[in-house]
Structure 1
Amino acid sequence: MENNDIKKIIAPSPMMTEDGKNELYLYSLKKMADRNAEVDRYSLTGLYGNVAFFYKANECLHTHLGKQYALIRMDIYRFKTINEFCGRTEGDKLLVYISDCFKKYEAEDAVAGHLRADIFALCTPYKTDQDLINIVHDIAQKIESFPLPCKILPAFGICKSEFGMDISLLIDYANLALQTVKGRVFSCYAFYDETLRQQLLYEKKIENEIIPALNNHDLEVYIQPKVNMLTKEIIGGEALLRWNHPQDGFLLPIQFIPVLEKSGYIVDVDKYVWEEVFHSLRQWIDKGYKVVPISLNVSRLHSYQTDFEQVLYGLAEKYNISRDLVQLELTESALTENTELVLKTMSNLQKNGFYLSMDDFGSGYSSMNMLKDEPIDEIKIDRVFLSDISTIKSRIIIKHMISMMTDLNINIIAEGIETLEQADFMLECGCYRAQGFLYYRPMPMSEFEKLLQLI
């Protein structure tokens, strides 16, 4: 039935009372629900399909007005791999088993649905949030106990109808909540609440405004100098970013970089920073300054860009910049993801003159393996280690870490030096290069240029 046909059914006469409108709407909704319930059931599990669930759930919401309702949506993390590893027959058995878990909660005022593939939903009344949590825990425990030779990780998103949404929005917002916990081992559910709503709105705002900000040059490149702790000489710098937002003021990286990483816009932002740095290096050289190498942060997402290497080669050629003046900083987590591709790309860049630095060394779990396999010129010791040098264990770890790097002929720089005690300890261990507030804070390009004039 087309939307216009539905409107004809439920359109009230001019003389109809408000109660009459509601009765006619409920009558029409029930007719549509019953009609779809007969023809739209998931063949494998027998639960209502997407369309039938929509109508039946809406009927519940409008029939039981005195009850609070919520929508629970469930998805299995990497269900396709279960089919591939265990076979489609076993995967189908799991889906039938899950449908039985949901059918347990069907009632005159509650509806379960199998929306598609491994996605299930339950529209149910509740009195407290704990009622909903209990349902989730019950279904999750049963699913996790299903006999399969691979781990099953269900994820649940919960959206309460108190937000005034119809069933389609409840489903969508429950899915947004679900995505925040999908794949996690120790947290299998999340509520769509005001906090999540504000977070999602903020993320969307950042995504919508980042391209105009790039075009308007609202993003400003800052440089934090690196120093030789013995001589206090500036030996380099790291390019960082600040957003001079026209309405919200000065935004620090922590306020927008994670959003850009998630959305993929970090690739555009990185290229913007790279262009600014290459351009500035050219200007400083032309002015006769003694320039120092500048580090560029490289997101893990660049390893998926087919033109990644060519962009850097092109910038070096465009501005006639020696590649040893540009250092590429990758986080440890970036080097552990898609390792083969990253290794190949980084090796190519290193062979063609770029200097490679591993940022946040020691913050992950694969540091030692990466030192053996990756083409690394330098490691930056994570500030977490330096924040606790008062303990004997921390001092021993740092001391031996630096000794090992020296034996491997890998350069070392201490990140986050903020106190004289930290600086003295690193010097005692044989690390002479540092970056931190004790020496310099991040500064605009123009201020860094003034420092270059003194070198």
Structure 2
Amino acid sequence: MIEWEGNDMSADKLHNKDIDDVLRLVRNVYHTIIYINLTDNSFRCIQSNQLDIQRLLANSENYERMAARAAEAGMVYAEDAQEFASFLERSQLRSQLAGGKEYLSITYRRSKGGRYRWEMIEIIPSRDYKADRQVVLLCARDIDEEHQRELDKEAKLSVKERQLVGDKTVLVVDDSDLQRTTLCYFLEQHYKTVEKENGFEALEYLKNHSTDISVILMDLNMPVMNGYEFLREFQKDEIMRMIPVLVLTSDNTPEEEAGCLKAGATDFVAKPFNPDVLLSRLQRAIALHEKTVMLNVLRMDNLTNCYTRDYFLHLAEQLLARYPEEDFDMVCTHVVNLPNINEQYGAKQGEAILRYVAQNHDQDQWERSVYGRLDDATFVQLLPHSAGSYQKLLQQQSDELHEYKTVKEGLPPFVQKYGIYESVDHSIPVSVMCDRAMMALQKILHKYNQLINLYDDNIRLYALKTQRILENMEEAINQRQFQVWYQPKHNIFDGRLIGAEALVRWIHPRYGFMSPGEFIPIFEDNGFVAHVDRYVWEEACAAIKRWRDMGLKTVPVSVNISRKDFIYFHDEEMLKPLLAKYGLEPADLHIEVTESAYMDNPDMVIRKVNEMHRDGFVVELDDFGTGYSSLSMFGHMDIDVVKLDMSFIRQEQNEQSDKMMRYIIDMCKNMGLSVLSEGVETEEQRQRLMKMGCDYVQGYYYSKPLPEADFVDYLRKHS
């Protein structure tokens, strides 16, 4: 919980007592309360028990910066982000409040762990709000349950509208052709009808169409499966038993009526039926169960018309219970880079893609399957297993989506990736099955050429290792288990030491050396990489100062800026104070930016990188050529050095590969950029790069990454 300090704040306190009084009443209602002065663009956090909001506030120097970051940081559901950002704009708030509004609010979906909850932000101006003292409170609270109740009311109205247009369906179950035909002839003037001859046929139909039926009209005495037997089986299914059942009976004895009610019937209709009585009882049965129908409506995702996550899990559980001996696969499908599509082409285009994906996975393709939407860009399907055949189908779908412009004129191209848990274990919860498919998917989200991945023991072990890393990461920072090692960079022509790259290593007291390839991707996913980066920045600055204090001639050290840093990072509050603290200049610290960070949010990265370049930092573009290359970067971003990924130098040498490398190096040189190649291990590779005009090299040919003490010796040797 972030609180104001307990010192006397009489001069710095809220401007009027009425707001101060309100605070005592609302602290238990709102999870976050922020005091904002719109006049001077300042803010102060009164309280917040939300860790992500605490981090956001701690890294924002004024209100406008905080509001912009809140919209950019992935805290708000993608479809609500634009409206959210517009609402919080300082100029927008000042304009509305100047017009005399006494209260402003917005409801939005807040993303948390791949899911969302509805929240509300309320802006409350002080009683003496005026042009030179525009003081307000921003209060945020969770309204998920309240919002669902409102949706219930809306859904009820929707149900009434459908009732007026007569789109309800009656399932008529009777072994008498004459009786069934007569009933349907009469009912079709008011409802749609489906006919079945006995209880068994009705149950089989309901297994796949229970949500289509509004009411069941059933005879008791039928062959194969009579009405009592039907009701017993019918009541075992939570979805089916929400449908009202009216029993047709010629024996109106109290015993029979009691038996039917006990078995689960809703009402009775005597034979021969009276049309007015039948209609009245049908309408009453449907009205009594309207809330059940309404809840079914709420279980559908509004945008895609797929089942919501929770309802999907419920239906999948029912499906597996119904067919315990059959093999099923759980498949998670993800639309890659949907936020970028929304940014470049507009949210409407992104929504159209999601609707297309949902239609493309029509569950009618498989008789026994269920399909739902997990989060913004991820869908999930439980479908019958057929050894290998689904892979061919998914590949066909992927090929089609690669050529989406020809399939659906006017929409942007996009790619889907699939995580698959084959032949699910029926003994584990459905949510765990989803988790396994998601783990398979997450392993390939950043792999350019892989579209499908199967869950296996390696992924299970990876999940266990991931959990171990997550449980130890905070302690690792606090106990300084992370070490910064340095890999030298050399001039390719004369061999001079011209710099070093700072690389993080984790030496755990129990597990020993942990490879960066194991923990960095996990930290990038959960945002902890920002803490590690800042740790490395400070360690590198402190090391350069130590080396100078030893009388050594130092070289610039390159530090990495990760994707998450671009959400919170501002060099005025991060790098410059570190340089001042250790008496360094911007030229002492080179900044490495990856291509993938650029592709995630080009406009923001360009703006911030160019700011750093203007401040004197040398900017290096790292991992060039790893699948995200975009020549537009060079036209918009102020880059000094291009670092060729080690995959370039390690690929098989041939005329074609040499031409490609020479072309890239020539292009960079023509643009006034220096070129550094990573992963150089042999004299032959160094000579080859030198002939092509490469400026600098880094790799085992000169040195592996070194702990600081060893790098100090290296510095002395090459001074």
Structure 1 and Structure 2 fold alike (TM over 0.5): yes
Q: TM-score range by the shorter chain?
A: 0.7 to 0.9
- Structure 1 stretch displaced more, 392-401 or 70-79: 70-79
Per the alignment, residue 32 of structure 1 pairs with 238
Compute the displacement of 1:336 (Å).
Answer: 4.0
Tell me if structure 1 keeps the 8 A contact 2:490–2:697.
yes
Paired AA for residue 310 in structure 1: E
Among candidates 458, 469, 488, match of residue 195 of structure 1: 458
Tell me if structure 2 keeps the 8 A contact 1:56–1:111.
no
Among candidates 317, 327, 331, match of residue 68 of structure 1: 327
| Percent of pairs with identical residues | 26
- 1:58 lines up with 2:317 in the alignment: yes
Q: Structure 1 residues 344 and 390, CA, compared in 2 at 3 Å: closer, same or farther?
A: same
Compute the displacement of 1:318 (Å).
Answer: 0.8
- Structure 1 stretch displaced more, 312-321 or 401-410: 401-410
Compute the displacement of 1:304 (Å).
Answer: 1.6
5+ residue gaps in structure 2?
Answer: 1-231, 244-291
**More helix by percentage:** 1
Per the alignment, residue 22 of structure 1 pairs with none
Among candidates 319, 332, 338, match of residue 582 of structure 2: 319
Give the total of aligned pairs.
424
Compute the displacement of 1:382 (Å).
Answer: 3.2
Q: Secondary structure at the match of 1:300?
A: coil
Among candidates 499, 518, 521, match of residue 258 of structure 1: 521
Q: Secondary structure at the match of 1:443?
A: coil
- 1:453 lines up with 2:716 in the alignment: yes
Q: Structure 1 residues 318 and 199, CA, compared in 2 at 3 Å: closer, same or farther?
A: same
Q: Supply the distance in 2 between the matched residues of 1:430 and 1:119 (Cα, whole angstroms).
A: 45
- 1:359 lines up with 2:622 in the alignment: yes
**CA displacement, residues 191-236 of structure 1 (integer Å, 9 cap, x when unaligned):** 4433333223322322332221121121111111122344433222
Q: Secondary structure at the match of 1:295?
A: strand
Per the alignment, residue 112 of structure 1 pairs with 370
- Structure 1 stretch displaced more, 374-383 or 390-399: 390-399
Q: Secondary structure at the match of 2:325?
A: coil
Q: Structure 1 residues 30 and 147, CA, compared in 2 at 3 Å: closer, same or farther?
A: farther
- 1:440 lines up with 2:703 in the alignment: yes
Which structure's CA Rg is the greater one? 2
- 1:284 lines up with 2:543 in the alignment: no
Counting only pairs closer than 5 Å after superposition, residues 76-91 of structure 1 correspond to structure 2 as: 78=338, 84-85=347-348
Q: Supply the distance in 1 between the matched residues of 2:484 and 2:530 (Cα, whole angstroms).
A: 15
Tell me if structure 2 keeps the 8 A contact 1:41–1:48.
no
Tell me if structure 2 keeps the 8 A contact 1:361–1:367.
no
Greater relative contact order, per chain length (Cα 8 Å cut-off, separation 6+): 1
Compute the displacement of 1:317 (Å).
Answer: 0.7
**CA displacement, residues 84-122 of structure 1 (integer Å, 9 cap, x when unaligned):** 44698x7898588568x314534xxx4535567897665
Compute the displacement of 1:268 (Å).
Answer: 1.2
5+ residue gaps in structure 1?
Answer: 1-25
Per the alignment, residue 536 of structure 2 pairs with 273
Q: Supply the distance in 2 between the matched residues of 1:395 and 1:50 (Cα, whole angstroms).
A: 51
- 1:162 lines up with 2:425 in the alignment: yes
Per the alignment, residue 409 of structure 1 pairs with 672
Counting only pairs closer than 5 Å after superposition, residues 204-219 of structure 1 correspond to structure 2 as: 204-219=467-482
- Structure 1 stretch displaced more, 258-267 or 358-367: 358-367
Compute the displacement of 1:376 (Å).
Answer: 1.6
Paired AA for residue 420 in structure 1: E
- How much is the aligned-residue C-alpha RMSD, in angstroms? 4.1
Q: Supply the distance in 2 between the matched residues of 1:369 and 1:436 (Cα, whole angstroms).
A: 28
Compute the displacement of 1:278 (Å).
Answer: 0.5
**CA displacement, residues 234-263 of structure 1 (integer Å, 9 cap, x when unaligned):** 222111122112233222322322222222
Q: Supply the distance in 1 between the matched residues of 2:606 and 2:358 (Cα, whole angstroms).
A: 43
Q: Supply the distance in 2 between the matched residues of 1:93 and 1:342 (Cα, whole angstroms).
A: 30
Paired AA for residue 296 in structure 2: R
Per the alignment, residue 141 of structure 2 pairs with none
Q: Structure 1 residues 336 and 52, CA, compared in 2 at 3 Å: closer, same or farther?
A: closer
TM superposition score normalised by structure 2: 0.51
Tell me if structure 1 keeps the 8 A contact 2:599–2:628.
no
Q: Structure 1 residues 227 and 163, CA, compared in 2 at 3 Å: closer, same or farther?
A: farther
Tell me if structure 1 keeps the 8 A contact 2:315–2:370.
no
Paired AA for residue 105 in structure 1: W
Compute the displacement of 1:27 (Å).
Answer: 7.4
Q: Supply the distance in 1 between the matched residues of 2:649 and 2:550 (Cα, whole angstroms).
A: 38
Tell me if structure 2 keeps the 8 A contact 1:309–1:349.
no
Q: Structure 1 residues 149 and 318, CA, compared in 2 at 3 Å: closer, same or farther?
A: same
Q: Structure 1 residues 260 and 28, CA, compared in 2 at 3 Å: closer, same or farther?
A: farther
Q: Supply the distance in 2 between the matched residues of 1:170 and 1:325 (Cα, whole angstroms).
A: 50
- 1:130 lines up with 2:394 in the alignment: no
Q: Secondary structure at the match of 1:162?
A: coil
- Structure 1 stretch displaced more, 386-395 or 139-148: 139-148
Tell me if structure 2 keeps the 8 A contact 1:316–1:322.
yes
Paired AA for residue 67 in structure 1: E
Paired AA for residue 370 in structure 2: A
**CA displacement, residues 147-175 of structure 1 (integer Å, 9 cap, x when unaligned):** 56435766655444326213343344444
